[in-house]
Amino acid sequence: MDLDYLRGQTVLVVGDGRPAYRRACAFRAAGAHVTTLTRHGEWSFDTGSLPRLAVTLGLEGHVVHAPELNHLAQIRMCHAVQLDVTLYAGEDSRRAAMRLHPAGSAARQDDLIREAWLVEIVTDDDDLATEWAERAAALKRPVARRAAPQPVDVTLVGGGPGGSELLTVAGLAALEEADVVFVDRLGPGREVPHLAPGALVIDVGKAPGHHRVPQAQIEDLLLRFAAEGARVVRLKGGDPFVFGRGGEELSSALEAGLSVDSIPGITSAIAVPAAVGIPVTHREVTRAFTVISGHEEFTDAECRGLIDTGGTIVILMGIGTLEPNVRGLLRHGLPGETPVSIVENGHTPQQREVRASLAEVSLVAARERVRNPAVIVIGNTVEKAANLSSDAATVALQDRKSNLQDLLAPAKLRIVSDSPEPRDDTQDVLPLLRGYRIAVTADRRSNEQIEAFQRRGADVLHAPTMRIVPVADDATLRSDTAAIVRARPDIALITTAQGLYGWLDAQADTTEDATLPTLPTLPTLHETLARAEILVRGPKARGGVRARGLRDAGVATDETTASLVDLALERAAAIQAARTRHQATTPATGLTIALQLHGYTDEQQIARLTAAGHRVLTAAPYRWQGPPDPQAVTRLLDDIIERRVHAVTFTAAPAAASLLAVARASGLTEPLREAFAADVLAAAVGPVTAQPLLDAGVRTSFPPRHRLGALVKHVSESLLRDRPPMHAS
């Protein structure tokens, strides 16, 4: 999990044994200053038998001279150097140890607690945990407890088809505890040094036709490391038991008497087609799909079986045998017009898709130089794809990855509570915001924000100041859309993905409006936008445009309506100049510009377009209405003024404007402004949302990335930096 929020902070780790060592490694890798305390003056680890494989793994340059130690001890030495500790071999050559800060005097211990930004207790000893929790609380320092995980010798982890954002939470936890990680060529192997800080990472990946580490040797290495006391993780792309040879590795570990756990992963057979919008099953098309390996050419019996079974055919690792396998399917009666999709490097920034009929796919794949890793999908569900372009998928991938890192990080810290109630060890929460009260004004997607703050231990007050209301059946929207379709705009400005989706879904074909003249040749809204030059306000709007099969010509520089209008004026001038070159005189009129509103109409920006001589037509696919509970907004206003909340978050400009309107109507604008200036943090998701607050003189901050996960991280860091928990009410 992401611990970057600790960079530059001092963390005191209290505990004994391997779990405390692993946490110290994780904190150190995140850039924290780590201090360790142990009752025994050292942490000691069994090393078992004495094979010397570390030298062959290239660790000899990092190892204290101790040739009698086995490779587990040498791994500890290599990675513990980051913790500024002394490593030595004891008199018993079966043990290695790290000498750390001894417990020292009580006064010295108190000094270490005062210096720490966070005190983490890593132990199952309840007496020790209680003692240190009470001492940290008395010195007003944040404290967290982390229970020692149950030991497992070997864990098989499915890494999914892409980066770490598709790993399961259980998979991330297993990597955090790993001493040694064996990685494949596919999946999130490159991110393991960050996901498993302090662990030894061994690449045993296989390329098509080149297995540099044979499977038998991989299994032998797994067993040898595990037998000597290392916690071993075998990280595979996709799922370990879908053509991943996980069954063989599981059997060999069990036969050796080792404890084994298996954590499933997202298989590429389903996830990669989904990355381009292809369902492997679809109602009224097929209720079955078959996954088959393409490592070898299909036999006649396999071809007949695939065709007789029906449904979608998904081929993994099949580029090298594509031509003979296609010939076999055609020879046994699969129609040549059957649609085929090949998705290369699914769920990565390099993702691309090639489509063709079954009869032509071999030639098309050769012409496009398609390479593994790729998933081949054959069947009519290919035609049901949602038309997700590779560019849209890349935008979604980047947003998903950064948002998950911000929303989930950090994880697996447990609260040390003064409550007499028993601690629930099944709940992983972050206590660093315990004692803080945060108000959330969002209506849409409020649950994500609330849960993220609650995971961090905060008390959350939900008081939506406005709510979004779709207007699919709204006569004004239908009329405005019809006007835009008839006007055939030169430029279309798209401000939000949500608004575009609602607009297209509600008004896909304006010819169906009975109130309009019958115009059989009137194009659809989608066709109208496709003919225009589309400009978007930010990456999410761009992703929405491309997900609907449209192409944009540019994106605003800072995700604001003002910069979008800057771009529109620049492009309009270029279009007019081009038209002038092809005409004898300068065009007498400006351009027609369609603007998709996002609930907060910026009249000033519309005026800039009209002042330049352009005709502006607007459509609002959704509108903002008053709060669902006006009394809740009144109570929120009182809580802010009375300093009963530490922060208020805003994710939409109308929500911010609504709170200001309530304050104005109550004569409380100045007290509200004073509260935000001195004691209460006003945090917006971005500059567009912040603008009404800034215009009213309210001190407002927002994260550099204008995303929900970044907002949660920004609020957490701001509160912890500027408002210590002991000030909380």
Chain CA centroid to CA 122, Å: 28
Out of 2, 153, 184, 239, pick the active-site residue: 184
CB 555: neighbour CB atoms within 10 A?
18
589 burial (CB, 10 Å; 0-12 / 13-18 / 19+) is: exposed
Q: Which amino acid is at 503?
A: W
Within 8 A by CB and 6+ apart from 54, the residues are 60, 63, 70, 71, 74, 75, 78
- Give CA–CA dist 51/92, Å, rounded: 16
| Distance, CA of 669 to CA of 692 (rounded, Å) | 13
Question: Which residue type occupies 360?
Answer: E
Based on the number of CB atoms within 10 Å of its own CB, is 214 exposed (0-12), middle (13-18) or buried (19 or more)?
A: exposed
- Coil, helix or strand for 156? strand
Phi-psi map region of 557: left, alpha, beta (phi>0 left; psi -120 to 50 alpha): alpha
Residue of 236, 317, 552, 713 marked catalytic: 317
Give strand pairing partners of 182: 202, 234
Separation CA 536–CA 529 (nearest Å): 12
Contact at 8 Å (CB) between 97 and 90?
A: yes
Contact 704, 687 (CB under 8 A): no
State the angle between helix axes of 539-547 and 497-506 in degrees (0 to 180), rounded to the nearest 10: 30
Length of the chain: 729
Residue 658, Cβ density class (10 Å: 0-12 exposed, 13-18 middle, ≥19 buried): buried
Q: Let me know if 540 is a catalytic residue.
A: no
Nearest to 559, CA basis, from 406, 691, 397, 726: 691
In 651-707, alpha helices (H):
653-665, 669-678, 687-695
Nearest alpha-carbon partner for 693 in 642, 659, 729: 659
Question: What SS3 class is residue 334?
Answer: coil
Reading the block at residue 591, the tokens are 């351009």
Main-chain phi, psi angles of 42, to 5 degrees: -160, 160
C-beta of residue 103 within 8 angstroms of C-beta of residue 131: no
DSSP letter at 527 equals H
Q: How large is the C-alpha radius of gyration of the chain?
A: 30
Which residues make Cβ contacts (< 8 Å) with residue 216, sequence separation at least 6? none
Chain centroid offset of residue 423 CA = 30
Question: Rounded to an integer, what distance in angstroms lies between the CA atom of residue 238 and that of residue 223?
Answer: 22
Element (H, E) at 539: helix 539-547
C-alpha 133/C-alpha 127 separation (Å) is 10
Q: Is 184 a catalytic residue?
A: yes
Active-site option among 4, 125, 203, 206? 206
What's the half-sphere exposure (Cβ side, CA atoms, 13 Å) at 387? 8
Catalytic residues: 184, 206, 317
